[in-house]
Amino acid sequence: MEDQPKSRRWKQNPEAVRADILRVAQAEFARNGLSRTRIEDIAARTKTSKRMVFYYFGDKESLYQAVLEAAYAGVRAGEAELDLEDLPPDQALRRLVEFTFDHHRDNPDFIRLVMVENIHGGSHMRQMEQLAEQNLAAIRVLERICEAGRASGLFRDDISPLALHWRISAMSFFNVSNRATFALNFGDSLFDEAGQALLREEAARSILLSVLRAPLD
Amino acid sequence: MEDQPKSRRWKQNPEAVRADILRVAQAEFARNGLSRTRIEDIAARTKTSKRMVFYYFGDKESLYQAVLEAAYAGVRAGEAELDLEDLPPDQALRRLVEFTFDHHRDNPDFIRLVMVENIHGGSHMRQMEQLAEQNLAAIRVLERICEAGRASGLFRDDISPLALHWRISAMSFFNVSNRATFALNFGDSLFDEAGQALLREEAARSILLSVLRAPLD
DNA sequence: CTGATAATGAACCGACGGGTTAATTAGGTC
DNA sequence: GACCTAATTAACCCGTCGGTTCATTATCAG
């Protein structure tokens, strides 16, 4: 029937075990952060044992790092699916903002991992190399939109794509990361369906408005 | 000479010890989060001992909670010093955004505590009562600005002060909270003096632009 | 079949760190 | 000065949890 590439067959499948551990570990680290997460808890939700976690990943920090790396790769892959090529620049930008907003919402575990990593000062992210290109790809999308907008006379010519990305990320990220404290402080009206629709729309509108050629100033 | 209110004099001053512990604990919890912080480390940087930390605060979680509460109170007190009463609404709003941006920047420990608390789902913040009024005060400031702006015909009449506050907070908070990962992903050009000035200005400008009466749409 | 290696299981270890016990001192009160 | 309580110290306790040891089984190459 089917032959695995490396001729590994039924039962005793290391790759699957590895992936299983990674999957569970991602959820645990996202929920509890690094220190509060117990390897035993991860193992318990896996089909394998604590011994195997160490066997495959060495130690806790390495596992965490592998999780972070996989999460980044997964999310960036999702982003790459967005196609804005044949849209006029204003619609493309609006679509990008809305997509980013939704995409963050749909990946709370990733957001929480990034929060955790920021608490740690980004120390585990430093040795990840292949992120640079993926990240620059995100900026390049914005650069193209800005350039097209400028060329058509629709956008201002002093837009910084990086600063624009920063603002889009800020709203999309904060919406997920600070939901708990924001809701406790101000109620959860912004987090029901209507509230989220409002925030999403205002985010898109304010970003768009800020790049359009001098409506006022 | 001077008489303390409760006739407590030189040496053996519980209030001061408490405050000392709280000060050090705030820095430690902000830097390391809840689990990674060691009570012994806190004690070591205090003028007192580990035993005293438990004596005054009961246990680690209670100490953390006291720290969080004190941090909130401190930051909110700082915010209250901003006076926008005699400014026209557009200038008042711009000033508020700039102030919030700066204020977050100046209180990174507070930001980090809020990050930690969000990782914990806000569970320690739930029993803090007196925050409600302080938070509503922040919204009320925005409500007054929006109302004045609307009355003068300058602002749109469909502004949600809460959503506006959310956007201002998002940018101000994200700027501090995600600095580490953002800089690793995209370089630190947005975090030097010029970059920060740009972000601050764009934040203010985009907020302002979004409330002004139909410049375009 | 045989030997080698990769994968797994069970039981164990040790130190780290939150929290405590018990005894001591300082300060206030009358 | 006698007494009481709040504040402080030193030493200890013990559960938890990251990581390991060692023995066992599965898989594969020849």
pLDDT tens track, chain B, 217 positions: 333 343 434 456 778 899 999 999 999 999 999 999 999 999 999 999 999 999 999 999 999 999 999 999 999 989 889 999 889 999 999 999 999 999 999 999 999 999 999 999 999 999 888 888 888 899 999 999 999 999 999 999 999 999 999 999 999 999 999 999 999 999 999 999 999 999 999 999 999 999 999 655 4
Both tokens of A176, joined, read: 């997920």
Give the span between the Cα atoms of B25 and B116, in whole angstroms: 14
Our measurement of CA B2 to C1' C28, in angstroms, reads 19
Q: Identify protein residues whose C-beta is within 7 angstroms of any atom in strand C.
A: A 12-14, 17, 48-52, 55; B 7-12, 37-40, 50-51, 54, 59-61
pLDDT of residue B214: 65
**Secondary structure element (H or E) that encloses residue B74, with its range:** helix B60-80
Determine the residue type at A117: E
pLDDT of residue A214: 64
CB of A26 within 8 A of CB of A70?
yes
- A69 pLDDT band (50/70/90 cuts)? very high
Distance from CA of A185 to the nearest CA of B (A): 6
- The pLDDT tens digits for B156-169 are 999 999 999 999 99
Question: Which H, E and C letters describe chain A, residue by residue?
Answer: CCCCCCCCCCCCCHHHHHHHHHHHHHHHHHHHHHHHCCHHHHHHCCCCCHHHHHHHHCCHHHHHHHHHHHHHHHHHHHHHCCCCCCCCHHHHHHHHHHHHHHHHHHCHHHHHHHHHHHHCCCCCCCCCCCHHHHHHHHHHHHHHHHHHHHHCCCECCCCCHHHHHHHHHHHHHHHHHCHHHHHHHHCCHHHCHHHHHHHHHHHHHHHHHHHECCCCC
Task: For residue B53, give the nucleotide whose C1' atom is nearest its CA.
Answer: C19
**A38 has a pLDDT exceeding 70:** yes
**Which of A76, A118, A146, A205 has the highest number of chain B CBs within 10 A, making it the mutation to test binding with B?**
A118
Our measurement of CA B199 to C1' C24, in angstroms, reads 59
- The alpha carbon of residue A125 and the mean position of all alpha carbons in its chain are separated, in whole angstroms, by 14
- The pLDDT tens digits for A166-190 are 999 999 999 999 999 999 999 999 9
CB-strand contact A47/D, under 7 Å: no
Give the span between the Cα atoms of B97 and B204, in whole angstroms: 6
Identify which of B169, B174, B190 has the shortest CB distance to residue A162: B190
From residue A5, alpha-carbon distances to A8, A9, A19, A56, B26 in Å are 8, 10, 17, 21, 54
Query: Chain D bases under 7 Å from protein CB?
Result: 6-11, 16-21, 26-29
Query: Chain C bases under 7 Å from protein CB?
Result: 6-11, 16-22, 26-29
Q: Which residue is nearest to nucleotide D11 (CA to C1')?
A: B51
Give Cβ neighbours of residue B101 (< 8 Å, ≥ 6 apart): B171, B172, B175, B199, B200, B203, B204
Give the span between the Cα atoms of B143 and B159, in whole angstroms: 9
Distance from CA of B126 to the nearest CA of A (A): 7
Chain A with chain B: Cβ pairs closer than 8 A: 164
CB of B40 within 8 A of CB of B50?
yes
The answer to whether the Cβ–Cβ distance between B206 and A202 falls below 8 Å is no
The answer to whether the Cβ–Cβ distance between A166 and B217 falls below 8 Å is no
**A149 has a pLDDT exceeding 80:** yes
CB of B162 within 8 A of CB of B139?
yes
Q: Which residue is nearest to nucleotide C11 (CA to C1')?
A: A51
Contacts of B156 in chain A (CB under 8 A): none
3-state helix, strand, coil in chain B (%, to 5): 70, 0, 25
From residue A99, alpha-carbon distances to A106, A150, A169, B90, B141 in Å are 10, 22, 11, 31, 32
Work out the average pLDDT over A15-39: 95
